[in-house]
Amino acid sequence: MKRIVYHKLIQWKSSSVRKPLILNGARQVGKTYILKEFGKNEYAKMVYFSLDRDLEVRSVFQKKTNVQNILLSLSAISGVHITPDDTLIFLDEIQECPEALSALKYFCEEANDYHVVVAGSLLGVSLHENASFPVGKVDMLRIYPMNFEEWLYALGKETMAELLHSHDYETISTLSESYKELLRQYYYVGGMPEAVKTFVEGKGLNEVRRIQNQILFDYQRDFSKHAPSIQVPRINMVWNSIPSQLARENKKFLYGAMKKGARASEFEIAIQWLIDSGLVYKVNRVNEVKMPLKFYEDINAFKLFMLDIGLMGAMVDAPADAIIVGNNIFSEYKGAFTELYVHNELVCGGHLLYYHSVDNSSIELDFVMQSGTSVVPIEVKAEVNVKSKSLRIFVSNNPELKGLRLSMKDYIDQGWMTNYPLYAACAL
């Protein structure tokens, strides 16, 4: 399956300032698959070691020997003569061997003509816990669940995916019903590669939902296995509350929605653990929509979003016919699915997002992001009816800014605001 991160791996390979690469991302989003494909397609040779199983390889790093001895040992274990530039060294599940993570520093300093990539489950958590992380000595990439563009490629709709990036909205609008149908399917299946593969292979929606539920079960098992025991109940409470929090009119995260009298101090560590694991994204409020947005960040007010729209559908047991048949899914649940979808599409595109609201006011901007030297106020509408005062009032009060709306309507530039169809979010 085609993944957007692949071209970034190509860029890393050809970079003159290349360092060992850490591919980060939540569990089961396709890290191992894409790195194996990269090694198979772009290198003459590849050696793959999974450090949760290859105890002999772990012992090589634990001896804290020099890089040349490590390379010699890895060649001997794999039976492959590891040579500079044409061999990819892939260390998977690296969180199981902190010494291997530390050794990346020496590959950078002493053997930079060797190409090394690493990945691992819950690596984000491990990186925050490991004091010997090789700061400044590694490159970092993140892989996300498959976005709508990758979904189109998986379905063999390459032309439709490429058309979105052409920005030829006159042509795009003639295919709007086809895009909407595919978007409804994506809302149900989501972007977890195994769920996508199951759907593409025609195994049915029930099997897709079974896969999603298994992934959710595996995540909650990870909570118990890897998180501090005192935090596990709190992590579960935060995780399970996200769908209902997003279904509220005001999607700001409320501690009291989990239990009466809950306070931030009780749940800060639990929320951060979910963020570090890649399962949850945090979008903070900004009190002013000005450059740079970071200056106006309010860390006490935020929204939480799950990593995948299909998994949220499984969590709330949203029935297939409610999602795939008709347009109801775009407006039901107070637009929770649609706001999650837009968030994940924009994050996958590399955008840092905030939101803006004014206390004791009806004005709220679903998202705000920086674009070049300006900021962009964003409104998300889950249906064709796009009447809303917030974005219009905000832009009229800030005429130097131009609004952006994502809705079920076709592309239109109204001067003060440009409306893009929801299915084109990946191409903004």
Does one domain contain both 103 and 186?
A: no
Does one domain contain both 112 and 251?
A: no
CA separation for the pair 233, 267 (Å, rounded): 10
Does one domain contain both 312 and 191?
A: yes
Does one domain contain both 259 and 355?
A: yes
- In this structure, what token pair is assigned to residue 222? 């990870």
Q: What is the pLDDT of residue 131?
A: 47
C-alpha distances out from residue 100 to 68, 80, 88, 151, Å: 14, 19, 16, 35
Does one domain contain both 165 and 283?
A: yes
Dihedral Cα 306, 307, 311, 312, nearest 10 deg: 20
Q: What is the CATH number of the domain that holds 25?
A: 3.40.50.300
Does one domain contain both 177 and 270?
A: yes
Half-sphere exposure (CA, 13 Å, Cβ side) for 192? Answer: 28
Residue ranges in the chain modelled with pLDDT below 50: 130-131
Does one domain contain both 373 and 357?
A: yes
- In this structure, what token pair is assigned to residue 49? 């070691």
Chosen domain end from 142, 170, 205: 142
Instruction: Express the helix, strand and coil content of the chain in percent, nearest 5 each.
Output: 50, 15, 30
CA separation for the pair 113, 86 (Å, rounded): 9
**CA 197, 318, 254: angle at the middle one, nearest 5?**
110
Q: What is the pLDDT of residue 321?
A: 79
Number of domains in the chain: 2
Does one domain contain both 228 and 288?
A: yes
DSSP state of 171: H
Does one domain contain both 131 and 199?
A: no
Chosen domain end from 88, 113, 142: 142
Does one domain contain both 10 and 75?
A: yes
Residues for the chain: how many in total? 428
CA separation for the pair 409, 405 (Å, rounded): 10
Does one domain contain both 263 and 172?
A: yes
Does one domain contain both 286 and 373?
A: yes
- In this structure, what token pair is assigned to residue 411? 């592309």
Side chain identity, residue 284: N
Q: What is the pLDDT of residue 332?
A: 59
DSSP state of 411: P
Q: Are strands 87-92 and 115-118 parallel, antiparallel or unpaired?
A: parallel
Chosen domain end from 142, 161, 181: 142
- Which residues constitute the domain of residue 264? 148-427
Among 121, 112, 132, 128, CA closest to 20: 112
Q: What is the pLDDT of residue 306?
A: 97
Among 279, 327, 308, 277, CA closest to 208: 308
